[in-house]
Amino acid sequence: MNRVICTSTSSFQTVCQRHFRAALWITFAIVTLASSGWSAAEDRPNIVVIMVDDMGFSDIGPYGSEIPTPHLDALAANGAKFSQFYNTGRCCPTRAALLTGLYSHQTGIGWMTTDQKVEGYRGRLNDQCVTIGEVLGQAGYFTAMTGKWHVGFKQGVTPWGRGFNRSLNLPAGGLHFFNQTGSKGGTKLFLNGHEVAKDDPQFDPPWYGSDLWTEQGNEFIDEAIAEDKPFFWYLAHVAPHFPCMAPEATIAKYRGKYMDGWDKLREERYARQIQSGLIDASWSLEPRPEQIPAWESLSQEEKERYDDMMAIYAAMIEEVDKNIGKLVSALDSRGKLDNTLILFLSDNGGNAEAGVSGRYEGDSPGDPHSDVFIGRCWAHLNNTPFRKYKHYNHEGGIATPLIAHWPAKIQPSTDQKAWIKTPTHVIDLMATCVDLAKAEYPTQFNGNEIHPLEGQSLQPLLTGQGEFAERALYWEHEGNAAVRVGNRKLVRQGARGEWELFDLDADRTEQVNLAAENPDEVSNLQKQWRQWAKSHQVLPKPTKKKKKK
């Protein structure tokens, strides 16, 4: 489909002024590129970063799922897959870390997008960080983003203001259908900085979000090709975040397929993970928490309710996978697939919000007017074989799939059990982009001092060329905290929680707490975490306001 770039009711004079400014910008860009030595024909890769929202560690085929994901399976089989890649455990902080290559508190988004009046918790990307769009744009890349933004839009931080030439975005997330109602139905949609109606004819309604973000991004790719530029595209899917909803025809495929329940399905995912080499057979599957009922203890009516909830969620995963196939096909037909690095990940672990019962509201749950959360029982399946969920810094909250596909440089292994096992983190994606784009990460930008990069380029792990240095990794969110040094991980639940110590080489499912027998190690790691927290704007934390009596 051919869509216009933006809608406007500006006068002829305003349009002329815009064209004049655009001509000046293009002239400046050409001169800048020429003076910097970049040429359009230079063989730097295109880069597409695909992030899904609230998807668990085991929800796609290569990571153990029963949900068919043939397009992701193909990317993994012909590329590289990481077994120990991490996010921050929550949506906004992960987006901030991905876009900037910094720990989220350094960017001002230590929590969500509310300004809590402390530097690490301002709720917006600050001026001491730069985005991948800003850095790669200065290196001659055409930059685009589609989907969920959620790094301070209401405070004036927008894709078009932070380095993206083209964008189709929601300020936050939660919108899946053009005609959606309910709590997220009023969400606004922006195309290149202009608010547009969700049923605007240029989007060919009716549409489902995963299709829209992909199809518009493919059109942005065409613009990059027309300008003879390499491109960076940040595709931030809203699925499978609540409210869970998907096309009815896709949901129907899965109804009845979850009647075996979370106990049996989790055992099956665990077995596939061991068989694929993703996890070690010596790592115990985390037992079902006592708050989650045994599947067989449920009534038939309860089973059917839970089955339908997970069918809706599975349909969302299928829709994402279908659109990855659409994206790959578009790159291939344009002759761009070979030299495009595609990265796929999730922003946090599976989401247990809405508790054991979940939420199942509406005349037709799963349609644009319903309200469905799959809840804790299915999140327990999503995060197989790990403990905890989104929000937490145990492995179930922070472990994500990462699949990398780049035919020109990544040689697929003949061993399908081959995994990149080096601990890596979402902060590494900016460093990877800077490295591959031959860009320069700035010390100053727009007159502001910029924090040094925290991440490292993944290129040595992807291509086998060069070294990837060992380093400690850190987390903090809502008082939950962790530090990983080598295979040792210190983690706590809540600001006042007891620190637990785990050997992730022997026990990545965090079943055997070694803290009591290693007090000195716990003390040293705790001090190391606190030093990091003080130097990275984690501390001081915002003070909670006392309620008025």
List, by residue number, the catalytic residues.
91, 150
Closest among 95, 63, 54, 64 to 351, alpha carbons compared: 54
| Bridging pattern class, strands 340-346 and 46-52 | parallel
- Judge contact between 115 and 123, C-beta under 8 A: yes
Count CB-CB contacts under 10 A for residue 389. 23
Q: Which two tokens stand for residue 2?
A: 């051919």
Q: Which two tokens stand for residue 54?
A: 């609230």
Q: Which helix (H) or strand (E) holds 239?
A: none
Rounded to whole angstroms, the Cα distance separating 254 from 350 reads 19
Q: Establish whether the linkage from the previous residue to 385 is cis, with ω within 30° of 0.
A: yes
- Judge contact between 92 and 109, C-beta under 8 A: yes
Return the SS3 of 473: strand
- Judge contact between 132 and 430, C-beta under 8 A: yes
531-534, long-range: CB within 8 Å, 24+ apart, which pairs? 532/472, 532/474, 532/483, 533/474, 533/476, 533/481
Contacts of residue 205, Cβ cutoff 8 Å, sequence gap at least 6: 178, 179, 198, 199
- What are the backbone angles phi and psi of residue 481, rounded to the nearest 5°? -155, 155
Rounded to whole angstroms, the Cα distance separating 549 from 547 reads 6
Contacts of residue 173, Cβ cutoff 8 Å, sequence gap at least 6: 53, 91, 147, 148, 150, 184, 187, 238, 241
- Judge contact between 82 and 401, C-beta under 8 A: yes
